[in-house]
Structure 1
């Protein structure tokens, strides 16, 4: 059977990389010939999870059409979040937990989208539906993905299925999910050794909202006031990136994983910033706004921005 590549979105997080690994293994068991790859190197949190469960980081690709004719997507569907030449390959499978936007194909495909806290939770269900045993290391990387996306089951995106999957996968992986989960999340919060450019691009996604190009980045920390000492440097880097990439709005969500509160920094056009203020019902104060309880880009940021830009 002809080989296909499996990958998540640009600026990959633990879900994008972990689920690509888990879904590729499942598809190979079902008779396909796939390889999990990534669109960038793993971040610190993902690297911690990969090492914990004995995985090497998937190789990074810049294009896919030079290698294969078909691909499978996990944890994304929007073309601007995918590989640069996504229009030159056939997408045969999509497993995702985000909104569906600007996605179309010439042929029928396997498409599975469910409003779960993590794509790995959907894949966990698929293993059970197909009667495929989950190996210990695969269980570990899937568990890591769910912990990451749900902030250890604290995110408002968390479902009963996420809870069930975490308990089941932790048992197979042989770890205490609460103890391991906190260590995993903390592994991704050291920002002292990273530049502002690295931080605003490490976990960032682009969205097209009513013709507006919107960039939303997120950084997880354990000391929010300490991170905000770099506010001016963050804003300078964001402004530069917005001008270079023609973003109408660039938002950086800095989230304290211990108390689930965030501060947001925003740059962009006056009209885009007005839409941002409308979305959250608050006025920006020197390009900053406090968002207590907001931790999820997918559920708490993109939906109100989408409505505000209409």
Structure 2
């Protein structure tokens, strides 16, 4: 039986590459595994896979109840495949807080407070004394650079930096900064991408105060692109809120190079929330959240504290 391995919905580079690398690691440890994706790739991830010479994982939409699965880069049902509670999760490798995951049987869990799941996978290779292939190293390096914004994010640890340098040597990446900028340029090249897809490039739903909020993030070297399409994106936010019966939807435009966050705010009610959570005022549907560039470490915890 083949073990499906997958990251979260609206997948980013870490979710996709971690599924591929973990499936490869498990296979080398004698566990037949296959990587899948739960959504479309963003431009950065497509660039990474093409550069590494790796095929895009198949899309996974549903699985029979009771199927054994492995999760990477997430552990909350709201960010996973539909019907996760009916599946048998046997393994989880993640760098996020523990969510609503539950299990009737013992399972393998590997959680570490680092900036990227790729960092943990690199450590697993070392612990099992397995050589890392060049393509595997490139995928893990790419995930680390993406999740830590080239070591700029407050989620970055010394372990991420050390692992990044180690993997770059194996991958043959002699200039990490130049490669990171290539990745970010690919991520920022969005052309005429529909507004609803822009909203979902990196989008997750979180429970705050017993209600559901959608938090989208666009990490870019060209924030002017998103600001120029503000009206379209606000309309997409409005439609998403209504369609999914959410209490609120926010969209943060993170300038990777300047390390700033400009968040789109739908209306006065949303503006009150932003004021309460961050003490930030909203002008023309945009709130300046300063250097809060990490959803995981700076945005979500602030919402959780505000809503208690």
Q: TM-score range by the shorter chain?
A: over 0.9
Which stretches of structure 1, 4 residues or longer, exceed 6 Å deviation after superposition? none
Structure 1 position 73 matched with structure 2 position 64: no
* Alignment partner of 1:288 out of 280, 286, 289: 286
Superposed displacement of residue 295, structure 1: 1.4
Relative to the length of structure 2, the TM-score reads 0.96
**How many correspondences in the alignment?**
307
In the other structure, the counterpart of 2:3 is 4
Structure 1 position 57 matched with structure 2 position 56: yes
Question: Is the CA contact 1:221–1:227 (under 8 Å) kept in the aligned structure 2?
Answer: no
In 1: Cα distance, 2:120 partner to 2:59 partner: 24
In 1: Cα distance, 2:225 partner to 2:86 partner: 45
Superposed displacement of residue 179, structure 1: 1.2
In 1: Cα distance, 2:231 partner to 2:16 partner: 32
In the other structure, the counterpart of 1:233 is 232
Q: What whole-Å deviation, never above 9, does each CA across 1:132-186 have from its counterpart, x for those lacking one? A: 1110000001111001000111111100010011100000000121111110111
Alignment of 1:97-116 (within 5 A): 97-116=95-114
Q: Secondary structure at the match of 2:253?
A: strand
In structure 2, runs of 5+ residues without a counterpart are none
Superposed displacement of residue 266, structure 1: 2.2
In the other structure, the counterpart of 1:41 is 40
In 2: Cα distance, 1:24 partner to 1:152 partner: 25
Relative to the length of structure 1, the TM-score reads 0.95
* Alignment partner of 1:87 out of 85, 88, 100: 85
In the other structure, the counterpart of 2:300 is 302
RMSD (CA atoms): 1.5
Alignment of 1:1-310 (within 5 A): 2-65=1-64, 69-175=67-173, 176-267=175-266, 270=269, 273-310=271-308
In structure 1, runs of 5+ residues without a counterpart are none
